[in-house]
Chains A and B, each alone.
Chain A
């Protein structure tokens, strides 16, 4: 009798699991459908999967090796909805040689934002495939962990592939460790625009914490493109202590530096910059600088008197 009950319970459990699995399959098919006719079904299917939490997270792992872009995107969105309940399954999924799975799992972990995944992601970031390294590092940056994680992320900036360096720089921007500022300033001179400009955005995200270092950079930098970025940062971060330096660039012979100095001058001085800008406008002949003068003058006009 007891054995019969056990068998019945087991049978019911397997039926429930089978049902859950087929339900996940059915919902995933709908959720990853790209056709416009089924648009209204897509979001509810994604929401249902996310609401299933652990049970969906478990079964969807088998989909992580997909080569289909739409399916990969759907997984990212569903795992974002599931949240940290998915972390253990996704970490386990990183234990593979399949690069599609490694990339998808990293992308999903980036959405889950769980610092307990950092170790596994950093291990994935040593993969021989640079696309895996880039995804894993971007996920590390989004997973948090502050200065400790940032310190472990920094060595990856030596990668020869720009997209890996870009992910590293992006992660450092997210983690906001003061110790990373020197590396981010160095990244402003990277050989790839994606790294340079991501470093710029990362420094902007540090806000007031980056002011000292950027001000120091302005005193030492000699390469025009990096100087241009440093001038822009001075305005963007409102580094008032470099106003004199920026003022000197307002008459620089290089229109790139002169133009961005105008832009920053307006942001630093606000309405107080108007007179100088008007004066500059009278004798400026370079079209780029003239355009930024007009643009900055218009920006100033939008400011209220106390800004």
Chain B
């Protein structure tokens, strides 16, 4: 218990006080922003939105409200979160805690101390044998006790049987798409929409009864037990790997518990099929053909070495908590993760964590994979290697209602791709929805969304999405993508690269490297409909390509900012009339667009020009190419109008 208290206090202190933005290329020039906006009678105090444009639903996150009122705090917030999540000295459980705290959760003390289960039958011979074998058995027992406790926390406390069934059966409808939608007749689409509306209206009543506290209590318990087990295994890895496989088989046969099977695999190549509560594998190139058994809510898998294949046989696999918590930790090797839906670090009414500590890895999934969440936490941590992430939708740092997600890749040249499966039937016949790569998503007009983050440390990375992605958001949520270094390419089509749409907040921050940004529209620092979109690039010679309503465009009373601090950059916009610091009117007043380039010899095709200011003929926008990165002497304040 004291461990958890110390951990909680530690995380709180780090997040609250220790988050001073580190030195380096990162800088958010708040005074310069204020100075430039003043020329069109706007100041930084005007960059704010109300939190009551629509009825407040039960699931609005406090941080969303705070940042909606102060959108210019988003860059420092994301940088602080990114610094914490990519710090390799901070444990998985501490990172989980930071994501959990995003949900506004108050820590509760665990009651594990009072929890007792009959333990005499769990690996008695191994425990009697003593030494490293006995210690290992004790650790497994301890982990099982914690898991058993977590499994007995009533996750749907307060719900009737019918309501529990509704939640379990119907909620995922909100996160489901079908390829055949593209061919459905109008009447069928209309009736499907009405069905969705009726489910949302019912969830309005049922949802608030769900005990997020219980869900997170159960998750926290399992994460804590996992962390202690993983730490112990790491400390004793050498000794453990010296245990002959024959002895492991003798002392640690497959063991059934009320939470599922506990299995220990040796250093050879093993194949696992079915569903398990705990798998500890000591090495070898293993194959995991796992499925999610209904009711099997808690799982820990630790694979200590080898090039492994994880092939999901059902939804909710491999670090996927659905009404539960699941953690997969792979310590090495070039691994392949092939999943279906709601997998690979996905928490829905629970927590899903996937940790891969080394190797060139391939992650493949469909919907809600690779760090995705709702009513819980989804986290994927990849510590290194050249990795490839691909998914269809709602993935790679995606957060839905009451969700907190982060995909963190520490180093390596990585490739992130999402889309190309589910057609964007509203807008295009030949484009696909992505809603991924640091994306926050709420269910308009019913429920606010969560906070979705994609954090990439080092490496030359490629980000590919289509409609909605790359530090973007929709409906009372926050999506953030922060890339620390490398020459990166960002490719998308619409609603991307620092975009907020419909009362939401989106930001893309790239701290260094010569980067390329390509998107057709509503991108590259664009806020649409009382929303905020920011693209901040701190260093490098960058190229920005867009067609229209991009590169610092405010639309429908939104605010869009594109800020580039250093380097010789090129800003290419096909439509001059709604880019490079542009705002358009809606609701009888305008929006705000601000483009700032603070150094270098820059090239513009569109409204902007090197070494100049320009006030666009719009309501209301301005751009400035200043050649002067100056440290701010004080935080800007409204100019006292």
Query: B426's contact among A34, A229, A291, by CB below 8 Å, is which?
Result: A34
Report which residue of B53, B589, B611, B641 has the largest number of chain A beta carbons within 10 angstroms of its beta carbon. B589
Q: How many residues of chain B get a CB closer than 8 Å to chain A's CBs?
A: 37
**Cβ 8 A contact of B46, one of A37, A166, A193, A256:** A193
Query: CB of B3 within 8 A of chain A?
Result: no
Task: Report whether A170 and B588 are in contact in the complex, using a CB–CB cutoff of 8 Å.
Answer: yes
8 A Cβ contacts from B182-203 to A: 182, 186-187, 189-190
Report how far A258 CA is from B537 CA in the complex, Å: 32
Mark the stretch among B70-78, B242-250, B612-620 that contacts chain A: B612-620
A37-B429, A287-B626, A291-B614 as given contacts; A192 in contact with B46, CB under 8 Å = yes
Within 8 A of A (CB), among B65-85: none
Cβ contact within 8 Å between B590 and A197: yes
Q: Answer yes or no: A17 CB below 8 A from chain B CBs.
A: no
Stretch at the interface among B35-43, B108-116, B126-134: B35-43
B347 CB to nearest chain A CB (Å): 29
Q: A29-B187, A36-B427, A192-B46 are in contact. Are A166 and B588 (CB under 8 A)?
A: yes
Q: A69's contact among B444, B590, B613, by CB below 8 Å, is which?
A: B444
Tell me how far the C-beta of B38 lies from the nearest C-beta in chain A, rounded to whole angstroms.
6
Q: Which of B39, B444, B624 has its CB near the most chain A CB atoms (within 10 A)?
A: B39
Q: Is the CB of A288 within 8 A of B41?
A: no
Cβ of A81 under 8 Å from chain B = no
Residues of A with C-beta under 8 A to B626 = 287
Closest to A33 in B: B186
Helix, strand, loop or mixed for chain B's interface? loop
Residue of B nearest to A41 (CB): B186
B27-69 CB mask vs A (1 if < 8 Å, else 0) is: 0000000000011011100100000010000000000000000
Query: A30 — nearest CB in chain B belongs to which residue?
Result: B186
The reply to whether A225 and B38 form a contact with Cβ atoms under 8 Å apart is yes
A167 to chain B, nearest CB (A): 6
- Pick from B39, B182, B187, B639: contact of A288, CB below 8 A: B39
CB distance from B199 to the nearest CB of A (A): 14
* Chain A minimum-CB-distance residue to B428: A36
A295 to B608, CA, bound (A): 12
Binary contact readout A36-61 vs B (1 if CB under 8 angstroms, 0 otherwise)? 11100100000000000000000000
> Across the two chains, which residue of chain A brings its CB closest to B609?
A291
Shortest distance between the CB of A132 and any CB in chain B (Å): 12
Q: Is B268 an interface residue (CB 8 A)?
A: no
**Hey, which bits of chain B sit against chain A, CB under 8 A?**
38-39, 41-43, 46, 53, 182, 186-187, 189-190, 424-429, 444-445, 557, 587-590, 592, 611-615, 619-620, 624, 626, 639, 641
* 12 A-B pairs whose Cβ atoms sit less than 8 Å apart in the complex: A35-B189, A35-B425, A36-B427, A36-B429, A37-B182, A166-B588, A193-B592, A259-B39, A287-B624, A290-B612, A291-B614, A292-B615
A-B contact sample (10 more), CB < 8 A, given A36-B429, A198-B588, A256-B39: A33-B186, A41-B186, A134-B587, A138-B587, A166-B588, A197-B590, A287-B613, A287-B624, A291-B612, A292-B615
A-side residues, CB < 8 A to B, are 29-30, 33-38, 41, 67-69, 131, 134, 138, 141, 163, 166-167, 170, 189-198, 200-201, 223, 225-226, 228-229, 256, 259, 287-288, 290-292, 294-295
In the A-B complex, list the 8 residue pairs whose CB atoms are closest, starting with the nearest: A291-B613, A170-B588, A193-B46, A194-B589, A291-B612, A193-B42, A288-B613, A198-B589
